[in-house]
Chain A
Amino acid sequence: MSASSASVRFIEEPKIGFLERMYIPAIMEGLSITVGHIFKPQVKTEQYPEQEPELPPNYRGVHRLNRDTNDRVKCVACYMCATACPAHCIDIVAAPAPAEWKDREKYPETFVIDELRCIYCGMCEEACPVDAIELTTLYDLTGLSREQMIFDKEKLLSVFDQTTKPDPHRGNKITDPVRTRSGLLGPAAELPTVK
């Protein structure tokens, strides 16, 4: 569909005066702008390795698996994140929860995320009914092999431990405090607990 000519506004091109068409005054004006930038630099460059970038709290970096107040993994192995994942990078093997865990039926026996396949869209975080998986602000993820970049449950839990403790490399501040209701399970899991 082409735009109707009623919606198009025709503009007369600006008239170039004598001074502009003589080149020299126009060039001088341009030079003054160029020189002005040299003597008043408005540099906003971040010196990256020395200066850490200020990231917003909803930055989508490396995943973590949250722990509840009893240091157990919050995940209830419902497969909703794995289903939501457009890159199919989450692999969960569910198992019946231990008998003493009265608040759930299942827990993840293994929970593996292939960080190389992940596109960091954050859909797993949105899908999770118990706020167990979150994306942190860790952006400098590196590894020496493909195997190193496949994160299992222990690794993902260690990311949680690392990002919720004061980080000595980043001025002793907690980089990613738990954003969701800490210690509690998410709304979907708040069923009457089996006594």
Chain B
Amino acid sequence: MTDFNIVYTLALIVVAFGAVMTTVGYLTLAERKISAYVQDRIGPDRAGPFGLLQPLADGIKMFFKEDSTPKHVDKIFFFLAPGIGVATALLAFSIVPFGPSSPPPGPVSVDAGRPLELAITTHEAEMKAYQEHTTFAIAPGLDIGILFSFAIGSLVVYGIILGGWSANNKYALLGSLRSSAQIISYEIPLGMSILGLILFTGSLNLEVILDYQIKHGWFILYQPLAFLLFLVSVYAECNRLPFDLPEAEQELVGGFHTEFGSMKLGLLLMVDYIHMITTSFFMAILFFGGWHLPFGLTNFDGITGLVIKVAVLGFKTFIFLMLYMLVRWTIPRFKFDQLMGLAWQVMIPLAIINLVTVMVIREFKLTPWILTATSLVTFFAAATISTRDNPAANKKRVVVRKPEPVTT
């Protein structure tokens, strides 16, 4: 990596930060509105037209509430936890190309009939062109790309663990304990589900992964099983509803953020939403071709192309964000043993099988469409195995009893 335009990068950081924070604000409104509509209510509609100023009002409220710190907390970590959460969640966003992107040039290739000098000058020219084109990622051309994002993203759990532990409260501690167990378990299928993509593209760079999909078709076609695993793991990573045990209101008061108030609580709540935005971008970019649409629908140049591509990517991300909120009101929360069972007994074996299939296909240079078939076969096989009647586990319960004679 050589130097990039610092002014441009700073401007991009400001724009991206503003956009993410605004989206977080409006996601809270969308969350409340969608929850309301699903439950046949109206939702917030007083602040501005259709309640559009509600996030602003919420923010002002959060800032001006009394910032009380309970006497029994560990002060340092209590103040540190929300900051760590938000900072790491925002850092994970830095590699996401949220607009049209082009892949960085590969390493210098030396052919037999080509002089080394020429190869190096060509590479340098390509590199210069890459550096000068308009980029939409804060850190473009980062070769560890998605690995960086996952590494930083899983640090978010430190905000939750520290928050729960420093609060010195049993509910908070239980919430953060659950969170650590859950996130450690779901990191494994999360990472393994995208290993298959990386084997195909040969790069961790999101721009390269995107470029591969533009040339060969979206990964959802080849790896539906990997997408399903990724989707489920990501819901668990974000503590969204089917897996929201860390903050299960009904049993743990507020979970890890029980003792927090005012903007510290606001920051902790924002972490989940920032994470949701980042992971929605990942789902759109890794499996649904990012800004790309098939049949040349996005083959435009100049400003028109720019706007269309940003809009397409934004739309795909929006769909996944909406899915997050709809799933919340569709599936009830898992029990903790079911949560762990799903991760270790179902998703990790499936991810391993998927990964092995990808390896076989890459080794023997088979067409990736085989993977589509094997994904479906694996899924149905797993479903059959898990739903077969286990006589040892399902002892026939006596459900019909003979009526006893009534004695008075």
| B386 pairs with A21, CB closer than 8 A | yes
Number of A-B contacts (CB under 8 A): 56
| A10 pairs with B401, CB closer than 8 A | yes
Measured between beta carbons, the chain B residues less than 8 angstroms from A44 are 40
Measured between beta carbons, the chain A residues less than 8 angstroms from B383 are 18, 21-22
Partner of A27, one of B34, B330, B404: B330
| A18 pairs with B387, CB closer than 8 A | yes
Q: Give A31-47 as 1s and 0s: 1 = Cβ < 8 Å from B's Cβ atoms.
A: 10111011001111100
A5 at the interface (CB under 8 A from B): yes
Please give the distance in Å from A176's CB to the nearest CB on chain B: 30
Task: Give chain A's interface residue range (CB within 8 Å of chain B).
Answer: 20 to 34
Please give the distance in Å from B10's CB to the nearest CB on chain A: 40
B393 at the interface (CB under 8 A from A): no
A13 at the interface (CB under 8 A from B): yes
Please give the distance in Å from A140's CB to the nearest CB on chain B: 19
| A31 pairs with B326, CB closer than 8 A | yes
Q: Give B368-386 as 1s and 0s: 1 = Cβ < 8 Å from A's Cβ atoms.
A: 0000000000000001101
Partner of B38, one of A6, A27, A34: A34
| A5 pairs with B399, CB closer than 8 A | no
Partner of A43, one of B41, B386, B401: B41
A28: nearest residue on chain B (CB-CB)? B330
Measured between beta carbons, the chain A residues less than 8 angstroms from B38 are 34, 37-38
B327 at the interface (CB under 8 A from A): yes
A177 at the interface (CB under 8 A from B): no
| A5 pairs with B331, CB closer than 8 A | no
- Per the CB 8 Å criterion, the residue count for chain B at the interface is 23
A12 at the interface (CB under 8 A from B): yes
B400 at the interface (CB under 8 A from A): yes
The B344-368 residues at the A interface (CB cut-off 8 A) are: none
A188 at the interface (CB under 8 A from B): no
Given contacts A37-B38, A43-B41, A43-B42, contact A10 B400 (CB under 8 A): yes
The distance in angstroms between the C-alpha atoms of A45 and B37, with both chains bound, is 11
| A30 pairs with B34, CB closer than 8 A | no
B406 at the interface (CB under 8 A from A): yes
| A30 pairs with B404, CB closer than 8 A | no
B403 at the interface (CB under 8 A from A): yes
Shortest beta-carbon contacts, A-B, top 8: A30-B330, A21-B387, A22-B383, A6-B403, A38-B37, A5-B404, A45-B42, A42-B40
Residue ranges of B at the interface with A (Cβ–Cβ < 8 Å):
34, 37-42, 228, 326-327, 329-331, 383-384, 386-387, 399-401, 403-404, 406
Residue ranges of A at the interface with B (Cβ–Cβ < 8 Å):
4-6, 10-13, 18, 21-22, 24, 27, 30-31, 33-35, 37-38, 41-45
Of the A-B pairs whose beta carbons lie under 8 Å apart in the complex, a sample of 28, sorted by A's number, is A4-B404, A4-B406, A5-B404, A6-B403, A6-B406, A10-B399, A10-B400, A10-B401, A12-B399, A13-B399, A18-B384, A21-B386, A24-B228, A31-B326, A34-B38, A34-B326, A34-B330, A35-B326, A37-B38, A37-B40, A38-B34, A38-B38, A41-B37, A41-B40, A42-B40, A43-B42, A45-B41, A45-B42
